[in-house]
Amino acid sequence: MPILVMKFGGTSVANLDRIARVAKRVGVEVANGYDVIVIVSAMSGKTNELVGWVNETSKLYDAREYDAVVSSGENVTAGLMALRLQEMGIPARSWQGWQVPLLTSSAHGSARINEIPTDNINAKFGEGMRVAVVAGFQGISPEGRITTLGRGGSDTTAVAFAAAFGAERCDIYTDVDGVYTTDPRIESKARKLDKISFEEMLELASLGAKVLQTRSVELAMRYNVKLRVLSSFEDEMNDQAGTLVCAEDEIVENNVVAGVAYSRDEAKMTLVSVADRPGIAALIFGALSEAGVLVDMIVQNISEEGRTDMTFSCPTDQVARAEKAMEQAKSDGVLNFAEIIADTDVAKVSVVGIGMRSHTGVAAKMFQCLSQEGINIQVITTSEIKISVLIDRKYMELAVQALHDAFELDKAA
């Protein structure tokens, strides 16, 4: 029988009533002739509670025991889901990561998937099991310890299973009914997309869209796994429901710009009057990398003879870490700069679309739109299918709305 992977997030399985509702949806796919692999998250709020317990018990905790504790939320959901399906007369059983086994690296808390052998689950399908309910977010290390994949790891688990088992599709059920041209909470005219390319979804996910976890999209693109984003709260389901994330060649025609993304948790940092010589950028960003600072946008300006200003952006919660790394490099004599200025009152706004490859004028249109709204651009970065700008945070929502209108994203191609 063909295999379908269905993933349900924490809000979809938040209580027993919602688990029962999800089980009915799984039952429909079983009736449609699929063997189903269901990937479940912990009930909404449970992982945060478990993390809190670990931190309260041990500030300098053993990462291996952390994984043992926080992975338990998914185990509970998997067991309850299997029980509900059995009550419906559907042959089902739960699987923890080590039982599959989902083989990972030893990086506890942020493990990478190495392999998913299919023999155990396929053998049970051969014996009449119709649904394998797998605890997401977890695996087993080469040392035989439980590992977790990091936040959002259940999405990655689902895509990895779809790739390993050659599933027809991977359906990601969440609390939204698809991928929108922008956040509907900011722009009421935001439109749900029927299809979006892997590359566009990857850019949107990395730029702050919370619908899919970035690693899961990367994995889907690498193995050409069709993803469908759906709402678990919609009663009527059909083949057109949700948004299909697929290869670019499966999209007949799309708008030049697919969506507008934003991130309000950005900071702009400037090293003032750094020596303008070969290797200085490598020293700066090498030190930031060693400190674990995620640098995004970078701009270098000549400030005076033989000196330069270096500006970069990073998440606001990493400002202190960046400042410490730079001050340490200065005290070690590696760097010499006049001062470091941090501006935490900025936001990043981006337009994304594969149509940029074959259409000119997107950047000009974006910059003109922002200019007409009186919004000053502080930093610009571009890629083949993305243009991002850093602006004052107070203008973020206005910028998103204006760009959505300028590119007529409320209208289909």
pLDDT digits (tens, 9 = 90+) for 2-11: 999 999 999 9
Burial of residue 57 (CB within 10 Å: 0-12, 13-18, 19+) is exposed
pTM to 2 decimal places: 0.82
Q: E strands, 202-327, where?
A: 227-231, 243-246, 259-275, 298-304, 307-315
Query: Token digits for 30?
Result: 């079983």
> Does the annotation place 185 within a ligand binding site?
yes
Determine whether the annotation assigns residue 277 to a binding site: no
Q: Report the alpha-carbon distance of residue 386 to residue 257 in Å, rounded.
A: 9
pLDDT tier at 253 (50, 70, 90 boundaries)?
Answer: low
Average pLDDT over every residue of 299-305: 76
DSSP-derived secondary structure letter, 23: H
Lowest mean pLDDT among 241-250, 299-308, 351-360: 299-308
Residue 77 annotated in ligand binding: no
Q: Give the pLDDT of residue 175.
A: 79
Confidence band of 119 (pLDDT split at 50, 70, 90): very high
Is pLDDT above 90 for 246? no
Tell me: is residue 30 an annotated ligand-binding position: no
The residue ranges of every structural domain in the chain are 3-249, 260-406
- Average predicted confidence (pLDDT) for the chain: 91
74 assigned ligand-binding residue: yes
Give the tens place of pLDDT for each residue, 344-385. 999 999 999 988 888 889 999 999 999 999 999 999 988 889
Asked whether residue 324 carries a pLDDT value surpassing 90, the answer given is yes
The reply, when asked if residue 8 is annotated as ligand binding, is yes
Q: Is 175 annotated as a binding residue?
A: yes
CATH no., domain 3-249: 3.40.1160.10
The CATH class given to the 260-406 domain equals alpha beta
262 known ligand binder: no
Tokens 């429901």 belong to which residue?
241
DSSP string, 46-84: HHHHHHHHHHHH-TT--HHHHHHHHTHHHHHHHHHHHHH
